[in-house]
Structure 1
């Protein structure tokens, strides 16, 4: 997995504002990897192998990062794949997508750091009567347990900082915001 990330330029160094609101000196831009269908297939296949024996009915990817991941995961596991998107700042199922009561749902993400998008998606799934069984992701950047199984293609430890304690901010280095969540600069 690390080779796929490196050869596609998905591992970035600098100063980044993450979707969680935290800052980091590294960023994993999975869209750079996912632009190549053959490489996306290989990356997701690593996750599929980790999911052997895991029972689920449907895959749900939070937009934006989870859309392609959920599609490819659904294709490889022969499960339906849908996505949530933000409506008035909250994750929601739209476009006629729905979860049947009691369905076992696997969330699919590109990168999981704090689990914020996943938790918002879990809320919507549970509201619909679904049971979330885990989170599948290309990159697991978590530093704390999320209380739900994570099936990551790779576990990467990257430093993150609160804005007030960010050494990069203190050094005067401007940050980039590459994620899809609307945060103020």
Structure 2
């Protein structure tokens, strides 16, 4: 399965000058919402991701996704894994699990995002799950931005990766793009202005 081509076909691999949620700038941007707007494609990707997880033998009770980006990917993955699904959401800037969702003691929870960059949002939500008694057994995403090492990949873990090294990370493909601080961005220096797409800006 050519994940990059699927993103390109969905106009979800954007080329331009982008300001990321981290504040860094990049020439490329992944917009997974454009891929996931087609339920057939969402099911195709989730099934492929679930196959990796099943092959590993990892035991999972529940998939948990941080809103907003992980909602569709997490639901589709839970459906493919035939397990329960919950999500975390920000309330006054803090991740919270609401809407009657409960987590049992030692419940085995897989965190799921559409894209993992450093994994900060996933682990913020994971800490809420752990505070309720759950056990984080793995992390999954459709795409990996290349800062964290996933299963079956040669990408090495970078210093800014926030995922734990003692649990597996599953993703369908690595997308490793150059990123620049705003004061060292060659596109800015050439006079281009960065735009901020995605759930936090557009």
1:113 pairs, out of 81, 94, 117, with 117
Match of 1:126 in 2: 130
Match of 1:172 in 2: 191
What pairs up with 1:85-104 in 2 under 5 angstroms?
Answer: 85-104=89-108
Instruction: State the alpha-carbon separation in 2 of the partners of residues 147 and 97 from structure 1.
Output: 25
Instruction: State the alpha-carbon separation in 2 of the partners of residues 136 and 73 from structure 1.
Output: 9
Q: Compute the TM-score of the two structures, normalised by the length of structure 1.
A: 0.92
Instruction: State the alpha-carbon separation in 2 of the partners of residues 179 and 124 from structure 1.
Output: 24
Report how many residues are paired: 183
8 Å contact from structure 1 (residues 20, 116) kept in 2: no
Helix, strand or coil at the partner of 2:191: coil
4+ runs of 1 displaced by more than 3 Å?
none
Q: Compute the TM-score of the two structures, normalised by the length of structure 2.
A: 0.85
Higher relative contact order (CA 8 A, sep 6+): 1
1:55 pairs, out of 54, 59, 64, with 59
Where do 5+ consecutive residues of structure 2 fail to align?
A: 148-157
1:160 pairs, out of 159, 175, 179, with 179
Helix, strand or coil at the partner of 1:15: strand
1:6 pairs, out of 5, 8, 16, with 8
Match of 1:147 in 2: 164
Match of 1:136 in 2: 140
What pairs up with 1:63-74 in 2 under 5 angstroms?
Answer: 63-74=67-78
Helix, strand or coil at the partner of 1:177: coil
Where do 5+ consecutive residues of structure 1 fail to align?
A: none
Cα deviation per residue 1:73-122 (whole Å; 9 max; x = unaligned)?
11111111111111111111111112111111101101111111112111
Instruction: State the alpha-carbon separation in 2 of the partners of residues 135 and 181 from structure 1.
Output: 22
8 Å contact from structure 1 (residues 59, 105) kept in 2: yes
Cα deviation per residue 1:14-44 (whole Å; 9 max; x = unaligned)?
1112122222110010000000000111111
Instruction: State the alpha-carbon separation in 2 of the partners of residues 124 and 164 from structure 1.
Output: 35
Instruction: State the alpha-carbon separation in 1 of the partners of residues 108 and 50 from structure 2.
Output: 16
